[in-house]
C-alpha cells in the first residue's frame, strides 16, 4: 500500500512531457553544452547572467534563429553541431525560443 501511494505521488509530481523536454533544454543550456550557453548568455529562465553574447531575453530569437546559431555558430560563438546530439540541440532550441518568447 505504501509503495502504491509513493508511486502515485511520484506520478503526480512528475512533470508533463513538454516540461521534461524543457528540463533537458535547460540542462544543455547551463551544463551539457561545452562551453555552456549560460557562460555567455543571459536568459532568466535558465538563471543565466552571461554577458559575452547578447541577452536572449532581449533578443527573443525564434526557433530558426536559435537553431542556426547553435548548429553553425555566429561570430565568436562556437558551433555545437557534432558536440551535442540532435536531441540535445532540439531541446535547447525549443527551450531558448520558448523561454525567450520568440517561439
Ligand atoms: C563563448 C560564448 C558563447 C557560447 C558558449 C554560446 N554563445 Fe550564443 N552567442 C555568443 C555571441 C558572442 C553571439 C553574438 C554573435 C554575433 O552576433 O556576432 C551569440 C549569438 C547567439 C544567438 C543569436 C544569433 C543571431 O542570429 O543573432 C543565439 C540564439 C545564441 N547565441 C544561442 C546560444 C545557445 C543556445 C548556446 C548554447 C548551445 C550558445 N549561444 C552558446 C556567444 C556564445
Residue 18 pLDDT > 90: no
Q: What's the CA-to-centroid distance between 56 and ligand 1, angstroms?
A: 9
The residues facing 71 across adjacent strands are none
Summarize pLDDT for 44-101 with one digit per residue, the tens: 999 999 999 999 999 999 999 999 999 999 999 999 999 999 999 999 999 999 997 7
**Separation in Å, CA 58 to CA 21, 82, 95:** 23, 28, 15
Q: What is the pLDDT of residues 71-83, one digit of tens each?
A: 999 999 999 999 9
> pLDDT at position 6, please?
67
User: From ligand 1's centre to the CA of 74, what distance in Å?
Assistant: 6
User: Which residue CA neighbors atom 12 of ligand 1 most closely?
Assistant: 53
CATH number of 18-100: 1.10.760.10
- Nearest-CA neighbor of 44 among 33, 34, 59? 59
Distance 77 CA to ligand 1 centre (A): 5
Amino acid at each position: 500500500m505504501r509503495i502504491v501511494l509513493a508511486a502515485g505521488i511520484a506520478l503526480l509530481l512528475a512533470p508533463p512531457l513538454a516540461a521534461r523536454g524543457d528540463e533537458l533544454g535547460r540542462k544543455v543550456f547551463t551544463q551539457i553544452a561545452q562551453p555552456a550557453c549560460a557562460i555567455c548568455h543571459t536568459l532568466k529562465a535558465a538563471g543565466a547572467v552571461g554577458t559575452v553574447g547578447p541577452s536572449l531575453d532581449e533578443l527573443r530569437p525564434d526557433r530558426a534563429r536559435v537553431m542556426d546559431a547553435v548548429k553553425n555558430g555566429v561570430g565568436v560563438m562556437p558551433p555545437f553541431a557534432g558536440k551535442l546530439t540532435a536531441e540535445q540541440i532540439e531541446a535547447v532550441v525549443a527551450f531558448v525560443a520558448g523561454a525567450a518568447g520568440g517561439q
